[in-house]
Amino acid sequence: MVLCPLAAAAVLLLFSTGVVGFPVGQEPHNSPGCGYKSCPATQPAMLNVHLVPHTHDDVGWLKTVDQYFYGERNYIQHAGVQYILDSVVEQLQQDPARRFIYVETAFFFRWWRQQSARMQQVVTQLVNEGRLEFVNGGWCMSDEATTHYSAVIDQMTLGLRFLNDTFGPCGRPRVAWHIDPFGHAREHASMFAQMGYDGLFFGRLDYQDKARRMKEKDMEMVWRASDSLAPPTADLFTGVLPNGYNPPQGFCWDQSCSDAPIQDDPSLEDYNVDAIVQKFLKAANDQAALYRTNHIIMTMGSDFQYENANLWYKNLDKLIRYVNALQSQGSKVNLLYSTPSCYLQELHRANLTWSVKTDDFFPYADDAHDFWTGYFTSRPALKAYERVSNSLLQVCNQLEVLGGPSSRRGPHGDGDSETLRRAVGVAQHHDAVSGTAKQHVADDYSKRLAVGSAHCQVLVSNSQSLCVSLSQVLVSNSLSKLSGSSVPRTYCEKLNVSVCPLTESSHEFSVTVYNPLSRPVTWPVRLPVNGTHYTVTRPGGSVVDSEVVPVSQATKDIRRDGGYAANELVFQATAPPMGFSTYSVSLVQNRPPPAPPLPGAPPVLENQYLRVTFDPDTGLLSGLTNLETKQTVQLKQNFYWYNASVGNTESIQPSGAYIFRPNSSTPVPVSLTAKTQALKNSVVQEVYQQFGPWVSQVVRLYEHSQELELEWTVGPVPVRDGFGKEVITRLDTNINSSGLFYTDSNGREVLERRRDFRPTWVLKQTEPIAGNYYPVNSRIYIKDQEQQLTVVTDRSQGGSSIQDGSLEIMLHRRLLVDDFRGVGEALSEPGEYGEGLVVRGRLLLALTPPSTAAETHRRLAESLVLQPLLSVQSGPLRPNTRLEFSGLQGALPPAVHLLTVSEWGEDSVLLRLEHQFQAQESAKLSQPVTVNLQKLFSTLTVVGVSEMSLAANQWKDEMTRMDWKGRTDEKPLQKERGDPSTWEVTLKPMEIRTFLLRIKR
């Protein structure tokens, strides 16, 4: 890890004085004031129009991140972020009244490092005066539908730490600014509130919702973003911007605009001051009629604008001067340069009571047939890669702490996790993991993740290449120190297609399973091999039950090049909390090959927990029984595709990267039957289902599993028939779901969904399929009084319940035309061989009583987000190798999740503990839990602790937020009890607490 500039001495002072950079909560010396102190005066008896100069700089979309920063490939889109910042800083120095806001720290960080000391001094002064203000401040402006909360918190922390370390409190944003994401998640509002933001502004909401809010002057509200956290912990003032994030029509003065400049020479034939002033006054008064105070905000900028900032500021200066000049003639309109935080401050001073919103802003539609619900699934392979990369990042963070300085400088070279941290941060952008960028940009996102997690230095030798990963070097160094073995490690990155050259060719090797969770896990290990029988030994010397099974034909078809394993070695491995276990594997000679799967009617799959039945005539699933609770549900599962609407004009809305618009509400089955083969042994039972040449599935039940695994493979999706296809799997049951289903919000709290219904307004449903799709980040379920069927996903996907008792999840999309939302190309991923993308993924099914369902699906979702990391070493285990290790003194309580363990300074660690159950979700686990911080780690001694905001850029006891009055009939809150002691911290349901620990190793 490349540490941010925080001196060791400062870290020591931190626990006694609360100092990081500038004292938190104070302004730097000799500063005229920033933040709310720097806001310009307003006119109480007038309509104050807050003009906010801004640019919206996508961290990749039509061009890659690098291309946008440098202004390359302007034939795609004219945009150069470095020139925007150059030009804005120059223009801000011309007039102290001018303001500007900036959002994307990933770009600003890069620009800042290229500036001279003199220029950095100039910019710092602008920040200290509040004239250059950062809003949002994360590494990017994240997507809200397809991002997991853990990755969002990390990328916000990354950006905000840079701003704090560079500018102190004046660099801290007060406002969350999510002007471009395509719908808004309640969990994001909850996170922003816990990070200390005073308000949130965004530009996109459903057209029906917006029309209702405009009519009722309800464009600004208090968003109560948690059912579990006591108000106002997750309350966030939220405002809807009137023009998206663009200026009013006719007032765009960028070089990319065509509106007339203000021509104020009276001798000119085209003199237009009076006309423009009157047009602006009308626009201001029209906007004011939709809002409740005598303050309105106007976003004066748009995508990649201000590359020549003089154009904007010169015309804005004139606009302010000429409009305000009319005040002497009785005008009641006052224009001023402003920022979102200054506007927010005026709304707070109004002391009004606002409406309270408790649901989210999904799905988003901008017209009757234009639902932005396709991107919930677009580019499913990238969505999975982002999730896996985030898991690897958490492992790197933990092992960097456990391994100490030797993890970065060790026997395997110099390790680094910062490249991966920034790559995962960029991947959260609302055109990255969302799948809404051009193909070459999506490839660049994948490359960045690959460089972060597998930074390759190609060494050509005997026609072979060796990849040395900086992140994997860090992991290897840490494991080398903790285990006492410096034998090189291999990381099998293509296990999903049964490729790992070391295990395929070795007769003897060891497998280390690192578990990043705070509880022990048992995980199925599947390694590609060519032998027919192996002995697997766990730490301690006892033999583990293992089996060798043939590699499936579907896997052989996918991998083509590379990998020649005929079989897979399968066994269950157990690893301790935040620790590892090492298993030794030896080939046993002279054994017959494994029995091939047997064709024919699929058998019943059964272990001590579950029974799975199939229809003998169709080969499809027919039932699922929980043997512990004696529950049985009828369950039919199949694959279908929606025929994507195809239009060649904007008047006929087609499906595309953003939009999901099927041309029929009835999906087409891939096949009514499945060809099946079955395999059973002491470790795993599997039924292979072939639905056609491009869809297959393995229904899998491990010996001790309480959940059923469905491993699906879809692609290349055929389009030669002229139809774009949106592929789903549907599970039909006899559960009486009564029009209700449930989805998670960014992997955390679960929200109730009602078909053809919105809690905020009376819905006129125009798209019965797309209009009922919601983001499924980690789980979706249906239930009745007796039983609940939960599906846990391995990536973000779109899902719904179109009929009672039914769940459907969209797995893959391949389309033929663009959907006219700017990306400019059809979503048709070519895949590795140019024939179309093949995608493989997993769904986990659990059947439980509703009252205890959360105890199952919380555990399953957690295990898919933070998967064990496998590393392999060739040859026999060395003597004195430590085979088992836990970084914790013991497993944490089942309600507690170890969200973050990350090195912060030489002797400091950032720790986040999370209560992962909602209030009333579990009678047993939705209770407060106390954890002792001094009894947490096994190899680290905690000698100091200070609590921080969720984003770790403020001390918790100094964090103050604006109070807002919401229209509710709630009783006054009772004062909450504090922690039992300095070292014992109590977590309430859905609470995340962030601590900076001073440690001794």
Residues 745-764 as b/e (b if ≥16 CB within 10 A, e otherwise) read bbbbbbbebebeebebeeee
Query: Tokens 């900076």 identify what position?
Result: 996
* 30 contacts: CB under 8 Å, gap ≥ 6: none
Which helix (H) or strand (E) is 87 found in, with range? helix 81-92
- Sorted by sequence, the CB contacts under 8 Å of residue 636 that are 6+ apart come out as 615, 620, 621, 622, 731, 732, 733
Gyration radius of the chain over CA positions: 29
Q: What is the DSSP string of 474-513?
A: HHHHHHHHHHS-----B--TBGGGTB-HHHHH-SEEEEEE
Residues near 546 by Cβ (< 8 Å), separated by ≥ 6?
A: 534, 535, 536, 569, 570, 571, 683
- Omega of the bond leading into 232 within 30 degrees of 0 (cis): yes
Residue 843 CA to residue 863 CA, distance in Å, equals 12
Nearest residue to 534 via CA among 581, 596, 493, 594: 594
Q: At what angle do helices 470-483 and 380-403 cross, to 10 degrees?
A: 40
Check if the beta carbon of residue 784 is closer than 8 Å to that of residue 735: yes
Provide the 3-class DSSP secondary structure of residue 697: strand
Sheet of 546-550: strand order equals 521-529, 567-575, 546-550
Q: Which tokens is 120 given?
A: 């950095």
Q: Compute the C-alpha angle 233/855/740, nearest 5°.
A: 75
- Which residues on neighbouring strands pair with residue 908, listed in sequence order? 905, 998
Residue whose C-alpha is closest to residue 49's, from 298, 272, 283: 298
CB 154 within 8 A of CB 133: no
Q: 683-686: which pairs have CB atoms within 8 A and are 24 or more residues apart?
A: 683/545, 683/546, 683/547, 683/570, 683/571, 683/572, 684/524, 684/547, 684/549, 684/570, 685/605, 685/606, 685/607, 686/549, 686/597
d(CA 276, CA 326): 13
940 CB neighbour count, 10 Å cutoff? 18
Give the dihedral of Cα atoms 175, 180, 183, 185; nearest 10 deg: -30
Q: What three-state secondary structure class fits 728? A: strand
Rounded distance between C-alpha atoms, residue 102 and residue 121, angstroms: 17
Let me know: does 816 contact 827? Beta carbons within 8 Å: no
* Phi and psi at residue 989, to the nearest 5°: -50, 130
Provide the Cα torsion 544, 548, 554, 557; round to 10°.
120
The answer to whether residue 557 is catalytic is no
Residue 735: CA count within 13 A, CB half-sphere = 33
Asked if 40 and 335 count as a contact pair (C-beta separation under 8 A), the reply is no
Q: Select which of 180, 360, 784, 794 is catalytic.
A: 180
Beta strands in 588-745 (DSSP E): 598-599, 605-606, 610-614, 621-626, 631-643, 668-669, 675-680, 684-692, 695-702, 708-714, 725-733, 740-744
In single-letter form, the type of residue at position 817 comes to: V
Q: How far apart are CA 401 and CA 74, in angstroms?
A: 44
- How many helices (H) and strands (E) the chain has is answered by 18, 50
Distance CA 484, CA 643 (A): 57
- Which residues are catalytic, by number? 180
